[in-house]
Amino acid sequence: MTLQELLIAPFAEFAFMRRALVGSVALALAGPPLGVFLILRRMSLTGDAMSHAILPGAAIGYLTCGLSLAPMTIGGLIAGLFVAVGSGVVARATSLREDASLAAFYLISLALGVTIVSLRGSNIDLLHVLFGSVLALDDATLILLAAIASLTLATLAFLYRPFVLETVDAGFLASVSRSGGPVQVAFLALVALNLVGGFQALGTLLAVGVMMLPAASARLITGDMTLMLVLAVGQGMLSGYAGLIISYHGGLPSGPVIILAAGVLYLLALMFGPAGGLLRRLWSGRHLEA
Per CB under 8 A, 40 contacts other proteins: yes
Per CB under 8 A, 171 contacts other proteins: yes
* Separation CA 117–CA 114 (nearest Å): 5
Per CB under 8 A, 179 contacts other proteins: yes
Q: Which is nearer to other proteins, 14 or 172 (CB)?
A: 172
Per CB under 8 A, 170 contacts other proteins: yes
By CB under 8 A, name the one of 164, 230, 264, 268 that touches other proteins.
164
Alpha-carbon dihedral sign for residues 264, 246, 135, 63: negative
Per CB under 8 A, 267 contacts other proteins: no
Per CB under 8 A, 230 contacts other proteins: no
* Separation CA 232–CA 248 (nearest Å): 24
Cα–Cα distances in angstroms (integers) from residue 86 to residues 90, 91, 97, 155, in the given order: 6, 8, 12, 23
Q: How far is the CB of 283 from other proteins (least distance, A)?
A: 20
By CB under 8 A, name the one of 140, 168, 267, 279 that touches other proteins.
168
Q: Which is nearer to other proteins, 115 or 177 (CB)?
A: 177
* Separation CA 252–CA 259 (nearest Å): 12
Quote the radius of gyration of the chain (alpha carbons, Å). Answer: 20
Distance from chain centroid for Cα 103: 18
Using the contact rule CB under 8 A, the part of the chain among 120-128, 205-213, 218-226, 277-285 near other proteins is 218-226
* Separation CA 247–CA 243 (nearest Å): 6
Q: Which is nearer to other proteins, 78 or 221 (CB)?
A: 221
Per CB under 8 A, 5 contacts other proteins: no
Residue 285 gets the label, from left (phi > 0), alpha (psi -120 to 50) or beta, of left
Per CB under 8 A, 229 contacts other proteins: no
Interface ranges with other proteins (CB under 8 A): 40, 158-159, 161-162, 164-165, 167-177, 179, 222-225, 228
